[in-house]
Amino acid sequence: MNLCWVYYTVNNDKYRIVPNGDSAITILFNDDISEHLTKRIIGFSLTIKQSLGEALIDIIPAYKSLTIFFNNRIILLDKLIGEIELLLSSPLTEVSYQSKTIEIPVCYEEGYGPDLTSLAQHCKLSVEDVIAGHTQRSYLVHMLGFLPGFLYLGGLSTNLSCPRKSTPAISIPAGSVAIGDSQTGIYPVSSPGGWHIIGRTPLTLFNPNSQTPFIASPLDKIHFVSISKTEFTAIKKSF
């Protein structure tokens, strides 16, 4: 069987199935990034979990793809691709998911958002307008990636869009709220990064010792709430 690029067109939706070695495949969806597509990807991941059972090792949803890691002692690659093809031949339905709306407090004051002023200048807005624009919307969690618990959030106002930095910062504090291109996100742990840091949350976004290690999941909604330095310190002490 040819294990190079494999193209499928099913129910007027186009997919590409890409084998990654002998124990993983990636399904690439050609649709534009949207809430509709995210719902379909999460729904399809649930279908895969039910279908593969113990043969499934892990499944990773992303903006436009789904990567499946499987036990090749239980199911071989060519058989898995055949099963995926059969599943894709059925209409992809959106998952019925009761999403949560999570309020995340953010301090946008000096010392917490080192790139806030420069981003405001780039967008030809005042700092106050950037903060107002960032807190007036709800953001959809499309995926987690890059770092454990890093939230990739859709729904940023086009007025706040800003290209990523040409030179990434060496170290960004945990909890930093950032803008990169047309996305906003939150760094769960200290890390290098090339997004513009406009504020910081005192909440813990990733706890590996918890049964629910991540603060949010795909399809949840995030709403940012502006807080002062004093409130930031008080919340931080309570965790």
**Is 96 within a domain?**
no
The per-residue pLDDT for range 184-219, each reduced to its tens digit, is 999 999 999 999 999 999 999 999 899 889 999 999
Position with higher pLDDT, 91 vs 119: 119
Q: Does 72 share its domain with 113?
A: no
Q: Does 121 share its domain with 233?
A: yes
**Is 93 within a domain?**
no
Q: Does 141 share its domain with 65?
A: no
In this predicted structure, what is the pLDDT of residue 19? 87
Instruction: Give me the number of domains the chain comprises.
Output: 2
Q: What is the pTM of this model?
A: 0.85
The per-residue pLDDT for range 43-77, each reduced to its tens digit, is 888 889 988 999 999 999 999 999 999 999 999 88
Long-range Cβ contacts of 187-190 (<8 Å, 24+ apart)? 187/147, 187/150, 188/147, 188/148, 188/149, 188/150, 188/151, 188/214, 189/147, 189/148, 189/149
Q: Give the end of a domain, one of 65, 88, 111.
A: 88
Span 145-166, average pLDDT: 94
**Is 94 within a domain?**
no
In this predicted structure, what is the pLDDT of residue 95? 58
Q: Does 110 share its domain with 138?
A: yes
Range of the domain at 112: 101-238
**Is 95 within a domain?**
no
The per-residue pLDDT for range 17-49, each reduced to its tens digit, is 888 888 999 999 888 888 888 988 888 888 899
Where residue 128 sits, what CATH number does that domain have? Answer: 2.40.100.10
**Is 197 within a domain?**
yes
The conformation of residue 146, written as its DSSP 8-state character, comes to S
